Structure 1
Amino acid sequence: MNATAQRPVDRWFASYSGDHVNETNQLIHVFAVPAILWTVVALLWCIPVFGTWVKSGMWAALAMFAAWMYYYKLSRPLGFGMLAIFIAMAWLTRWLEALLGLQNLFYLAVGVFVLAWIAQFIGHKIEGKKPSFLTDLTYLLIGPVWVLSKFYRKMGWRY
């Protein structure tokens, strides 16, 4: 076993990958996991913020920052990738709020959340294994960065 296999990120990915061997399940995850991540951002975005100097999105920003710190600690290259994703998701969410209003943003996020989780459970039914997060909630954070790592590998980028 080489030294890089000892990194915590590699251990997380090896374990997560063991629950996601089926190609159909992996494909479902490539679409459903980012959708679920966006819905969490959007739902947090919709939590009311009291006061006049802070706008909607503060709770989402705090959660994205906390998650980003976790990802950056796991892997700097993946951390920077997740930072770009979080910025894009915040921009998209802000744009959708301006376009739809906060209440309709909430309804959209709930709808996407439900559909994406249905897809996830269908994928795991095909896989024949339970979702990883049922054994450790940390896998809810690992899923998005695992999908990103697949993109990094496809591009030939180190993480």
Structure 2
Amino acid sequence: MRTLEQWFEEYAVSHQNPKNKSIHYICVPAIYFSIVGLLMSIPNKSISNTLSLNMPIIENWAVVVLIFVLIFYTRLSIAMAFKIAVFSAICLTANYYISKILPLWMFSVGVFIIAWIGQFYGHNIEGKKPSFLKDVQFLMIGPAWVLENLFSKK
């Protein structure tokens, strides 16, 4: 199993151009945010029944999926899992409030599409294909790479 640093090194190969990096710093969190919003938009009347749980904390599918996301990151780095957990909590909270004023699924689809257009534009500038075309796990590495680059003490 690769370490988080090995994932970052390989991911960085196709993210060298400063414009592409800047685009990723905006678009990767936006995609993550929109996916959380889309998951929160799934009708949740039967989560407890489906999972055979009687836990009120599991209010929507985003929480269920994010538990598995955090397991993925915990296997790579406890510190990164904590950072992703904080970011995920921010996403859950912000999406909750957005859902009170707009149809969350429509908002999330719009953000998702615009952010992916930005991603592909950035890779066009870079002149390299997105990393996830080589290994789909890079879709999970992108958010960690952004957090590491934005908030590390380099």
| TM-score (structure 1 length as normaliser) | 0.85
* 2:107 maps to 1:80: no
Give runs of aligned pairs for residues 32-47 of structure 1, distance below 5 A: 32-47=27-42
Please say which of residues 121-130 and 7-16 is displaced more in the overlay: 7-16
Task: Tell me the residue number matched to 2:26.
Answer: 31
Across the aligned residues of Structure 1 and Structure 2, the Cα RMSD in angstroms comes to: 2.1
Please say which of residues 137-146 and 61-70 is displaced more in the overlay: 61-70
Task: Tell me the residue number matched to 1:122.
Answer: 121
Equivalent-residue separation in structure 2 for 1:57 and 1:71 (angstroms): 22
Task: Tell me the residue number matched to 1:138.
Answer: 137
List structure 1 segments (4+ residues) > 3 angstroms apart after TM superposition: 51-57
Q: Which has the bigger relative contact order, CA under 8 A and spacing at least 6?
A: 2
- Gap runs ≥5 in structure 2: 49-55
Equivalent-residue separation in structure 2 for 1:57 and 1:112 (angstroms): 23
Contact 1:35 1:113 in 2 (8 A): yes
Residues 57 and 46 (structure 1), Cα distance of their counterparts in 2 relative to 1, 3 Å cut: farther
| TM-score (structure 2 length as normaliser) | 0.88
Residues 7 and 139 (structure 1), Cα distance of their counterparts in 2 relative to 1, 3 Å cut: closer
Residues 45 and 105 (structure 1), Cα distance of their counterparts in 2 relative to 1, 3 Å cut: same
Task: Tell me the residue number matched to 2:106.
Answer: 107
Choose the corresponding residue for 2:92, options 90, 104, 108.
90
Aligned residues between the structures:
147
Kindly state the Cα deviation for residue 133 of structure 1 after the two structures are TM-superposed.
Answer: 0.4
Equivalent-residue separation in structure 2 for 1:122 and 1:51 (angstroms): 40
Tell me the percent identity: 37
Contact 1:46 1:56 in 2 (8 A): no
Contact 2:47 2:61 in 1 (8 A): no
Equivalent-residue separation in structure 2 for 1:44 and 1:52 (angstroms): 12
Equivalent-residue separation in structure 1 for 2:73 and 2:149 (angstroms): 15
Kindly state the Cα deviation for residue 7 of structure 1 after the two structures are TM-superposed.
Answer: 6.2
